[in-house]
A and B are shown apart, each in its own frame.
Chain A
């Protein structure tokens, strides 16, 4: 390497080189296959497939359900994080550990368990007046399961680091507890909450294993975008499958970018305090 980074530590060439190599071989080259294959389609054909009415319905479901689930997770995730950080109660440690269950549990296991629970014959499904399994709302339920730890784990450290002095200052100035929460605590937590939302959303959009059992898979109604990709594959329409995959990848990149920008904003804010 002509240019060397300024450091007395060795090993840059080796580690950086290996990192790039591994990244290329495992991630970048395979991913580029999607774009190269898609590029084989002309622009008209690409938009015809990627924006076909069925695809749009699928995006609407995948993105819509992911957004709704992420929103639910933001509210309840904040609540759970708050309760875990601020309060003490019996079994708190167990609850804290349990929050990570969706990270550790395989998606297929979650899928069959949730379907069993919310089907009309299931423990919860039998109690509810509305049909959950095989309807779009079932997708929201599954994605809420998947996304919860993203929000809790992102918000918890921020809540924990929140000093009490600002709250006490607000209280001494006459703010009620609720006012303090809305005007002091919430703004401080907002970047982390937004990051958690974005992470849960990004994960939910592409989720397959836990949703495929509980979704109805009806085109135009309860068909998730990843399933549509699989369908196109099974019709030997590789270009169609990659077109939809490419569209979803673009959306994911955008969300990833937003997350990184959010985190940079947060770091800058923290640094300035």
Chain B
């Protein structure tokens, strides 16, 4: 068995790029950030080279946030994780001990260099007249949203709907509202990007619940005015966090680069790229510059409305939680 393992390892090393000549870090990220990190990585590599003369390669992995967290727990040696919700990184800390439980305090803004919200993407002309959350539960409206069990974006969508219902209809009616909404969902993709593909490319559904940045990206990719963005009256403040995975970075000797990489996201250069890719920046100067892109809307937070992610997850997304119950009830 040893020789087999050894052989395979040799092959593995042989096919990996020569990591000794330059530094490489692995950024394990969630689904929609592909374009963002493509741009960030280029800029950071240039910046790092200018500052230290060292060449750094940033390898990217993308997938549903929960799935990515699971991979890191199972041994995917991420130097940094940039996931969709704090809960996923909490799980990495809890289940594998690769980073401390207090990770979120280490960077500004609760370790979220950018934030976003949930908006609606509709087809040209908005034929179903969708203006706000309550339009989503009308009969005959098909809503596309991914599966909250695997997609971070989907969890934000779910809690945004729940939060809206709590505020406008009262806590008692919230479950009924979300049940009716999921009654209108014909297909559940496992990631935010899959859902966007289903809506945009496969022509399914009347409205897509999406990260704001996804909605903008989809509109631009599709070209023309094939799609419109509808900003609801109120939505959730979605804060996707970033963190260095201490033990992995220490093992690879990349702690300094990894930390610099994350700090780069907070610099004006990084914030500029972030805003350009439709993520709401933290830097007030950059935010002012892009004020036209990001419509102001009332946002509520997970902490205030749901008592934090741990409680929200237990109540809604754990086995037997509200999503499971709703889905059983919505089974047609």
Contact = CB atoms under 8 A, between A and B. Distances in A.
A20 interface: no
Interface string B81-93: 0000000000100
Given A120-B202, A231-B147, A236-B73, 7 more contacts: A115-B202, A134-B186, A134-B198, A218-B327, A219-B327, A222-B187, A234-B64
Contacts of A227: 190
B182 to A, nearest CB: 9
Interface string A205-248: 00000000000111111110001001101111100100000000
B332 interface: yes
Given A218-B186, A220-B328, A220-B331, A234 B70 contact: yes
B324 A54 contact: yes
B11 interface: no
Contact of A218 (B70, B187, B203): B187
Contacts of A223: 188
A231 B149 contact: yes
Contacts of B188: 216-219, 223
Contacts of B91: 236
A265 to B, nearest CB: 39
A119 B324 contact: no
Contact of A233 (B70, B187, B201, B328): B70
Contacts of B189: 217
A30 B1 CA distance: 13
B67 interface: yes
A125 B285 CA distance: 49
B190 A217 contact: yes
Nearest to A121: B203
Interface string B44-71: 0000000000000000000010110010
A196 B14 CA distance: 43
B129 to A, nearest CB: 21
Contacts of B66: 234-235
Contacts of A220: 327-328, 330-331
